[in-house]
A and B are shown apart, each in its own frame.
Chain A
Amino acid sequence: DGGITQSPKYLFRKEGQNVTLSCEQNLNHDAMYWYRQDPGQGLRLIYYSQIVNDFQKGDIAEGYSVSREKKESFPLTVTSAQKNPTAFYLCASTKDRDSQETQYFGPGTRLLVL
């Protein structure tokens, strides 16, 4: 089955720790996205990548980093600089860069701070 997988489902972070959220897709999509979801705020774009080895900051990139070394993978690192990381993180992908394309979402990772 084609789709997007995110792991882990739950992730706990200690103070000062960097953590990495995994996102993998086997849809052969070029573009991938990371969103953060907080209650009552909808989804906010963290980073996006239109093609391998290229990515751009979204609206709330501070405290986060990404890489796109392979077409199917777009990991997100939440660094210690992100002071309020508790949220639901969603990864998405589209076939290409055209904004009319449907975004397909993974099941999400819930990040909690210990």
Chain B
Amino acid sequence: AQSVTQLDSQVPVFEEAPVELRCNYSSSVSVYLFWYVQYPNQGLQLLLKYLSGSTLVKSINGFEAEFNKSQTSFHLRKPSVHISDTAEYFCAVSGTGFQKLVFGTGTRLLVSP
């Protein structure tokens, strides 16, 4: 079975500052890793995912995450945030084959001017 830990429930940051949202996972098998974003009162949208290959994956809006197998982490980073990045971010993990997604508890990113 897999599990995900997002230690930070809320991360406040000023506009144009860098940010890192932490995600650690636990699994005894190979995994796929995902970051989803949720804007208020909406469903989740995929931000980026790691399946295999390059350990650094990037989204179209400037976010990136690096898969670190030795530290079992998949932290999300952005070098300069915008007000519009204010949202809740969920890290998720699944095993290969048909296995359900397991979500972390989420991190609320609050960007202020």
Chain A: residues with CB nearer than 8 A to chain B?
Answer: 4, 6, 33, 40-45, 48, 50, 58, 90, 92, 97-100, 102-108, 110
Contact = CB atoms under 8 A, between A and B. Distances in A.
A100 B32 contact: yes
Interface string B70-96: 000000000000000000001000111
B97 A43 contact: no
Contacts of B104: 42
Given A40-B9, A98-B98, A108-B41, A103 B46 contact: yes
Contacts of B101: 45, 99, 103
B42 interface: yes
B69 interface: no
Tell me the dominant secondary structure on chain B's binding face. Answer: loop
A98 B95 CA distance: 10
Contacts of A105: 36, 43-45
What 5 A-B pairs come out closest when comparing CB atoms?
A: A105-B43, A99-B94, A97-B98, A42-B105, A43-B103
Contacts of B94: 99-100
22 contacts: A40-B9, A40-B106, A42-B104, A42-B105, A43-B90, A44-B103, A45-B101, A92-B44, A98-B98, A99-B32, A99-B95, A99-B96, A99-B98, A100-B32, A102-B46, A103-B44, A105-B36, A105-B43, A105-B44, A105-B45, A108-B42, A110-B41
